[in-house]
Amino acid sequence: MSHKTKYTLVAIILVLGVYGYEHFLKTEEKAEIVDAGKEVKTYTNEYFLPTSTTGQIVHHEGYSLSYSEPHEQAEWVAYELKKSHLTNTNFKRPYFEIDNAVKTGAASWRNYKNSGYDRGHLCPAGDRSYSQFAYDETFLTSNISPQEHAFNSGIWNTLEQKVRYWASKYDGVFVVTGGVLSGNMKTIGTEKVAVPNQFYKVLIDTNSGHVKMIAFLMPHENSNKPLYDFVVSVDSIEALTGIDFFPELEDALENKLEASSSYKDWSFK
DNA sequence: CTGCAATTC
DNA sequence: GAATTGCAG
């Protein structure tokens, strides 16, 4: 063959080689996140996981979730927020990524684009700022729900900050949070991601002597009311969602704590 | 902290 | 599409 043909072939091989290597790197990066879901969780983490009404629980390094395919979002996200997790580091926000660990296919972030709704974190990025990996992992689409911006940056944000305050004060809390996926809901995007009409957050603390619980149920709208106005019993959220929140607790204790809507054990400062 | 959007390459 | 920059609650 001619020299010209040889050079052409070499050039093509080089281009394919570089492309292939970059593709290999990207595949490796994705594999890291997927494999992270297979890691064995700590005892405490497993212990407080709620039941799944959808049959699809996914474990990530920094949180676990139960994915509802019909609603294209998690019915709950659960994680332990330790005092040591709280840092002042200010990571750059990454791009949202489809969660490949969701076998039925997690929603694309494109559903949210120009929808008028925020990509609202369920496990807040601010709760996983102890490492770049943990922070980035919260930007998976299985960890977000459509939220009105005024709500997300308003009273919901206030609640999230209060959770961090409690995690610091009580040396760690276990957090379960999600939207109430029932009733008539609007949808956004081509995949019809449901817009919850209410959001909840359930906390349990076992590190402060005696076990205590608190639950919040908020309409999907901003509010200037104090946080304690939204305290409800865990039982009432279980009735709404069908989720059993702390099935591993001793029954008598579980029944007592979950029936209570008292917040006397939790400091609102 | 919680986010979106316009701009540039 | 990726990254930077600015803006808003």
pLDDT tens digits along A81-110:
999 999 988 899 999 999 999 999 999 999
Q: Is the CB of A91 under 7 A from strand C?
A: no
Burial zone of A17 (CB within 10 Å; 0-12 exposed, 13-18 middle, 19+ buried): exposed
pLDDT > 90: percent of chain A: 78
Distance A154 CA to C7 C1' (A): 17
Q: Is the pLDDT of residue A228 over 70?
A: yes
Please tell me the predicted confidence (pLDDT) of residue A82.
96
Nucleotide nearest to A161 (CA to C1'): B1
Q: Is the pLDDT of residue A10 over 60?
A: no
Distance A189 CA to C2 C1' (A): 23
Please tell me the predicted confidence (pLDDT) of residue A19.
40
Give chain C positions with protein CB within 7 A: 2-4, 8-9
Please tell me the predicted confidence (pLDDT) of residue A46.
64
pLDDT tens digits along A21-40:
343 333 333 334 443 333 33
pLDDT > 70: percent of chain A: 83
pLDDT tens digits along A157-208:
999 999 999 999 999 999 999 999 999 999 999 999 999 999 999 999 998 8
pTM: 0.84
Please tell me the predicted confidence (pLDDT) of residue A89.
83
CA A92 to chain centre: 18
- Compute the average pLDDT of residues A240-263: 96
Instruction: Please provide residue A173's backbone torsions phi and psi, each rounded to the nearest 5 degrees.
Output: -140, 155
DSSP string, A216-229: EEEESS---S-GGG
Please tell me the predicted confidence (pLDDT) of residue A7.
41
For chain A, domain boundaries: 1-38, 39-259
Active-site amino acid positions of A: 121
H-state helical runs in chain A: 3-36, 43-47, 132-137, 149-152, 155-169, 234-241, 251-259
Q: Is the CB of A90 under 7 A from strand C?
A: no
Give the architecture-level CATH label for domain A39-259. Answer: 3-Layer(aba) Sandwich (3.40)
Nucleotide nearest to A93 (CA to C1'): B3
Look over chain A and give the mean of its residue pLDDT values, rounded to a whole number: 86
Whole-number Cα distances in Å, A125 to A39, A88, A122: 20, 12, 9
